[in-house]
Amino acid sequence: MDTTVAVWFFVVGSVIGSFLNVVAYRLPLGRGIGGHSGCPYCATPIDSLDNIPILGWLKLRGRCRVCRLPISPQYPLVEALVGAAFVFVFATELLTGGSNLPDGARHMGGSLMQVRLSMQLVLRVLTHLVLTSGLIGGALIAVKHQRVPLRLFAWSILPWVIASLLWPPVLVVPWRRDAVLDFSANGRIDVVLSLIAGAAAMLVYSRLIAPVVYPGFDRRLIDLQPATHGARQFLGASAVTGMMVGWQSGIVFGWTLMVVGLIGGGLLRRWRGELRLCDLTVWMWLALLVFRSQWRWLYGLQVLPESIPEVIRHVAGAVALLPAAWLFGVLTTPAPPLVEPPRERLSQSPA
């Protein structure tokens, strides 16, 4: 049964990946995401059988059925990537009964039949998948040096906000330890405060490292420079992620993002000229997957002694992110092109 469900998660994820390909192609052009998909060259509508994720591209051997021009391998790769991400969430969260979460009970079994599928667990998994999908869509746009519409992140976090308000126990980490996440008015107020605190904390941390990762960006976030676009979409992605992980996990998530960015940027460094690997928005989705799979362990991780006030520990952790952010920028920012000095013209003497 576990294998069947895992295959189902992969299929659903690949379908979502196909949709994200459409989102990443159309949103930067200002086009709607509705309607039938078509060839990017001849605009011929793609037949339903040819539009099956991964298999359709393989069936056509990567070419349009009509004009025979090549279709980018990005499409099946993204579909497979999102499918794999969905299977990863299934294996690390649903199959373990949520034992990866700070408030989850330790699950000793290894089968879905031994997991108690509560409303809380199902909503957590579904909203996690939606946010991850939205962050992947943003990464696909950002990695091509394009501007990510912030409404993409807003729509991605909306199911989490609605689920938390309608079913408060869905919230993983409340803003204060003694908060009671029940169905009362006070419980829902605590939910709202938790969401706001998480977004605010991540915005503060992101704003701190933004000048290092996006040098020269407009601090008002209103000009049209690429650095400002990058900083603005990074702050937007950070805010919605903070609403899910909570303010307490902001620093640890920031370090997870840096480690993921350094490793990923190092592995793909060869393509840093063609791809915008220096934008942390590109790595946000992967950092969320890694962080959430180990959230229980990371939440209890203490680098500094507990005798130090919590505020000071958070400030120290945030400041320590700066050298890592600088190293990330050095590793992923493409080198400026070499400019040959102008050659002096030889003066010709009159004959």
| Residue 338 falls inside a structural domain | no
| 159, 225: one domain | yes
Has residue 339 been placed in a domain? no
Question: Would the pTM count as exceeding 0.85?
Answer: yes
Q: State whether 68 and 99 are in the same domain.
A: no
> Residue length, the chain?
351
Q: pLDDT tens per residue, the chain (351 residues)?
A: 788 999 999 999 999 999 999 999 889 888 888 777 777 788 778 887 878 899 988 988 888 888 888 888 999 999 999 999 999 999 999 998 889 999 877 665 567 777 878 999 999 999 999 999 999 999 999 999 999 999 999 999 999 999 999 999 999 999 998 888 999 999 999 999 999 999 999 999 999 999 999 998 888 888 778 899 999 999 999 999 999 999 999 999 999 999 999 999 999 989 888 899 999 999 999 999 999 999 999 988 877 777 788 788 888 989 999 999 999 999 998 866 655 566 655 445 444
- Per-residue b or e along 69-89, where b marks 16 or more CB atoms closer than 10 Å to that residue's CB: eebeeebbebbbbbbebbbbb
Q: Please check whether residues 309 and 245 belong to one and the same domain.
A: yes
At 110 the pLDDT is 64
- Considering the domain architecture, whether residues 190 and 246 belong to the same structural domain is answered as yes
* One domain for residues 110 and 136: yes
d(CA 131, CA 137): 10
Residue ending a domain, choose from 80, 115, 150: 80
Statement to judge: residues 171 and 314 lie in one domain: yes
Quick one: pLDDT at residue 35? 73
Identify whether residues 112 and 52 lie together within a single domain.
no
Phi then psi dihedrals of residue 124, to 5 deg: -65, -45
Start-to-end Cα distance in the chain: 94
Residue 62 lies in a domain: yes
User: Same domain for 181 and 277?
Assistant: yes
- Domain containing 256 equals 95-332
Geometric angle at alpha carbon 126, from 123 and 132, rounded to 5°:
135
Nearest Cα neighbor of 244 from 133, 131, 165 is: 131
Could you tell me if 148 and 280 lie in one domain? Answer: yes
Are residue 30 and residue 103 in the same domain, yes or no? no
165 occurs within a structural domain: yes
Nearest to 194 by CA among 213, 210, 178, 216: 178
Last residue of a domain, one of 53, 80, 107: 80
Determine, yes or no, domain membership for 139.
Answer: yes
d(CA 60, CA 22): 19
Q: What phi and psi values does residue 45 have, to the nearest 5 degrees?
A: -60, 140
For residue 267, is it within any domain? yes
Name the domain boundary from 51, 80, 109.
Answer: 80
User: How many structural domains does the chain have?
Assistant: 2
Query: Do 132 and 72 fall within a single domain?
Result: no
Pair (116, 246) in one structural domain: yes
